[in-house]
Structure 1
Amino acid sequence: MKLTFHQNMKVVILLLLSSHFAFSVKHSLKYIFTATSGLPDFPEFVAAAMIDENLVGYCDKNKLILNPKHDWVKKLLENYPHQLELYKGACFGGEPTYFKAEINSLKQRFNQSGGVHILQRLSGCEWDDETGEVIGFNQFGYDGEDFISIDLKTETWIAPKPQAVITKLKWDADKVRMKYNQNYLTVIHPEWLKMYLDYGRSFLLRTELPSVSLLQKTPSSPVSCLATGFYPHRASLVWRKDGEELHEEVDHGEILPNHDGTFQMSVDLNLSSVTPEDWTRYDCVFQLSGVNEDIITKLEKDRIRTNEMKPSNMTVLVTAAVVVLALILIGAAGFIVYKKKKGEREKGKISLL
């Protein structure tokens, strides 16, 4: 699985879609570290854990906060104190210091002096609950762009930028680092993911259907089909004409989190070349993983809400999504357990870059 850090910073979720989701469910565990430089009002180090794109916990180095987001997470940490110690070490141990040092190193490598700079690490796994297939990932981004990522199949590192080649050569030669990554990404993290899914079953494995609305800012604007309040995030929202999915004149929005742990998404339809008589040939179709029945909304004039008289639900929902997005990126940009084994800790930390 390969996502750019620009996408991760915008919380663009890689979805597993098909026409009727006739396949097994894939679950994901993501840990992210985010360090910043040049932002006086922004924590120098924040971290978060995400399961199936749900923010389940975060920490802020400046405030020394370790915040589990749900009761089931608190219960898990109480029953598994080793997990709690790992997270405390990741948030308040040596990692913040090392990330800060690595930003300074990268600034020199990129010939930068001042300005705002961000170093981020995304690590974790994806697990297919039917086939048992595990995909591990570990990648670093600098200033919103890919810097280096692991390729477990070839046991090498991928360096898309010239400035990362020196890191790639050093890490390719470090066989201990590669074995450590393989063990964590394909064995330990999947075990943790299964444990978290078991503890958080009532929350993580639930199904919630959305409300679907048709929204239009002005009579000449595209008509937006908005589905909000659904869970899980494995969903599809499309426009159809005469029962056939449209690929032209449509604009698919990103899936965004709501404050209550559900999701929202929208898809716009440009009607500039469509006569009013043909509107009835169009409909919006929402499909949710694990649910056989689709939610179909016909394109009818009296169903469309507009912004002309008062702010529509779309404004409120989008504003809420922006707030949640800001909280995730600012207050909880990442969480990663990059704890070395006891013997390795005694020998000292390995430099990230």
Structure 2
Amino acid sequence: MKSRKIINQNTYQNLLLFTLAFSGRFGTHSLRYFFSAVSGISDFPEFTIVGQVDDQQFMYFDSKIMKVVPKTEWMRQSEGADYWDRETQTSIGAHQVYKVNIQTLKARFNQTTGVHTVQVMYGCEFDDQTGETNGFRQDGYDGEDFLFLDLKEMRWITPVMQGIPTIQKWNNYGYEIEAKKHYFSTVCIEWLKKYLEYGKSSLKKTVSPQVSVLKKSSSSPVKCHATGFYPKDVTISWMKNDQEHHEDVEVGQPLPNEDGTFQKTSTLTVTPEELKKNEFICVVEHQGKTFREILKDDSPLIAIIVGVVLALILLAVIGVVVFKVYQKKKGFKPVNASDDGSNSSARTDPQA
């Protein structure tokens, strides 16, 4: 898996990449929680949590509303008040811990002003064809990796000196690491399967993309825009005179549309002279189907309008985490289980 840097909170569009930081493989399902503690932004909640099953957000919490709420109809209909009360109390506890943690890290980094974030991503996945499961947990601070949990070695690891006090402290909590291992190998997988059953009619849907080739002016880069597709995994490539073309091509990440589908763009930088002399074709592959769109001289001179929900922008700005993903072999890493192992999210952490 490609490495990617944690995205700072100063660019709304970049923050929307949270939905695609971890692309699912065919047959693989995932349960992920993203949360962030923020210091120095008065207009947004200081703590936010988002839960996703596969590509769909199913729950949300922030420190202004102070409760966990469902974000899909299938979740709203499947769990009762006890579930939402329990998740709310767990989230409130996490909020209090991370209010302290962000102040601790600001002191370690010798920071007194400015915007700062503690960001966490954790969850689990399983392959319904092979039965293989995996747990993952990564933490970041101010746009950089801070620490992660290596489940194979059963220890916390940090790439920065400011993280050493935390891993020295947390690595002494052997019982908590064991609890995390149990959560990710058992509890998290059980809840993931339960959520998949709740939302099977929605999560298993397939919607094909609409493909357009667009340009702002005759001399501007050309954009191949695929939109309205689900699930989010899609491949966009270019052909020049029936040959694969990879030069001067930049492929974006999938972005969410307000109806739950996704969009993705590939940009081709090419001169007007090249366009006249050659035929360029955008090729989009999705769920075993191939869609082609030929770039013509009369291709629409319009800009792409990104159909992203404002609510998702808000979530991304303060609460949703996109991490610099470690190489695939490092994997993703986990979070604490509750004492009784019954929590679906199990979000409580020790202080840093």
TM-score band, normalised by shorter chain? 0.7 to 0.9
TM-score by length of 1: 0.84
Distance in 1 separating the partners of 2:273 and 2:125: 42
What displacement does 1:32 show? Answer: 1.8
Distance in 2 separating the partners of 1:295 and 1:57: 34
Q: What amino acid is aligned across from residue 86 of structure 1 in structure 2? A: R
Listed one character per residue, the Cα deviations across residues 68-124 of structure 1 (whole Å, up to 9, x for unaligned) are 11110012222xx65434311233x32111110111111111111122211121110
- 2:297 counterpart residue number: 301
RMSD, matched Cα: 2.7
- 2:7 counterpart residue number: 6
Checking the alignment, whether the CA contact within 8 Å between 1:90 and 1:337 is kept in structure 2 is no
Higher normalized contact order (CA 8 Å, seq sep 6+, divided by chain length): 2
SS of residue paired to 2:17 = coil
SS of residue paired to 1:6 = coil
Checking the alignment, whether the CA contact within 8 Å between 2:237 and 2:284 is kept in structure 1 is yes
- 1:283 counterpart residue number: 281
SS of residue paired to 1:72 = helix
Instruction: Map 1:131-150 onto structure 2 (within 5 A).
Output: 131-150=130-149
Checking the alignment, whether the CA contact within 8 Å between 2:15 and 2:313 is kept in structure 1 is no
- The structure-2 alpha-carbon separation of the partners of 1:37 and 1:332, relative to structure 1 and needing over 3 Å to count, comes to closer
What displacement does 1:212 show? Answer: 0.7
- The structure-2 alpha-carbon separation of the partners of 1:126 and 1:245, relative to structure 1 and needing over 3 Å to count, comes to farther
The question of 1:231 aligning with 2:218 is answered: no
Listed one character per residue, the Cα deviations across residues 4-30 of structure 1 (whole Å, up to 9, x for unaligned) are 43289442524658xxxxx74222211
Checking the alignment, whether the CA contact within 8 Å between 2:253 and 2:265 is kept in structure 1 is yes
SS of residue paired to 1:275 = helix
Checking the alignment, whether the CA contact within 8 Å between 1:207 and 1:230 is kept in structure 2 is yes
- The structure-2 alpha-carbon separation of the partners of 1:233 and 1:288, relative to structure 1 and needing over 3 Å to count, comes to same
Checking the alignment, whether the CA contact within 8 Å between 1:258 and 1:324 is kept in structure 2 is no
The question of 1:341 aligning with 2:328 is answered: no
TM-score by length of 2: 0.85
Distance in 2 separating the partners of 1:276 and 1:115: 47
Listed one character per residue, the Cα deviations across residues 198-224 of structure 1 (whole Å, up to 9, x for unaligned) are 110111110001111111011101110
The question of 1:90 aligning with 2:96 is answered: no
SS of residue paired to 2:314 = helix
- The structure-2 alpha-carbon separation of the partners of 1:231 and 1:174, relative to structure 1 and needing over 3 Å to count, comes to same
SS of residue paired to 1:121 = strand
Distance in 2 separating the partners of 1:27 and 1:46: 23
- 2:105 counterpart residue number: 106
What displacement does 1:325 show? Answer: 4.2
Q: Which runs of 5+ in 2 are unaligned?
A: 9-13, 322-333
Instruction: Map 1:1-353 onto structure 2 (within 5 A).
Output: 4-6=5-7, 9-12=15-18, 13-14=20-21, 16=23, 24-78=26-80, 83-91=83-91, 93-272=92-271, 275-280=274-279, 282-289=280-287, 292-302=288-298, 304-307=299-302, 312=303, 314=304, 317-318=305-306, 320-321=307-308, 323=310, 325-330=312-317, 333=320, 340-342=338-340, 351-353=350-352
Checking the alignment, whether the CA contact within 8 Å between 1:31 and 1:337 is kept in structure 2 is no
Identity of aligned residues (%): 35
- The structure-2 alpha-carbon separation of the partners of 1:322 and 1:45, relative to structure 1 and needing over 3 Å to count, comes to same
Listed one character per residue, the Cα deviations across residues 160-199 of structure 1 (whole Å, up to 9, x for unaligned) are 1110112122222321121111111222112111111111
Higher helix proportion, which one? 1
- The structure-2 alpha-carbon separation of the partners of 1:252 and 1:177, relative to structure 1 and needing over 3 Å to count, comes to same
Q: What amino acid is aligned across from residue 140 of structure 1 in structure 2? A: D
Checking the alignment, whether the CA contact within 8 Å between 2:254 and 2:262 is kept in structure 1 is yes
- The structure-2 alpha-carbon separation of the partners of 1:209 and 1:169, relative to structure 1 and needing over 3 Å to count, comes to same
* Aligned residues between the structures: 328
Distance in 2 separating the partners of 1:148 and 1:136: 15
Q: Which runs of 5+ in 1 are unaligned?
A: 18-22
Checking the alignment, whether the CA contact within 8 Å between 2:33 and 2:123 is kept in structure 1 is yes
- The structure-2 alpha-carbon separation of the partners of 1:171 and 1:331, relative to structure 1 and needing over 3 Å to count, comes to closer
Checking the alignment, whether the CA contact within 8 Å between 2:213 and 2:300 is kept in structure 1 is yes
What displacement does 1:266 show? Answer: 0.5
- 1:20 counterpart residue number: none
Distance in 2 separating the partners of 1:350 and 1:210: 41
- The structure-2 alpha-carbon separation of the partners of 1:133 and 1:219, relative to structure 1 and needing over 3 Å to count, comes to same
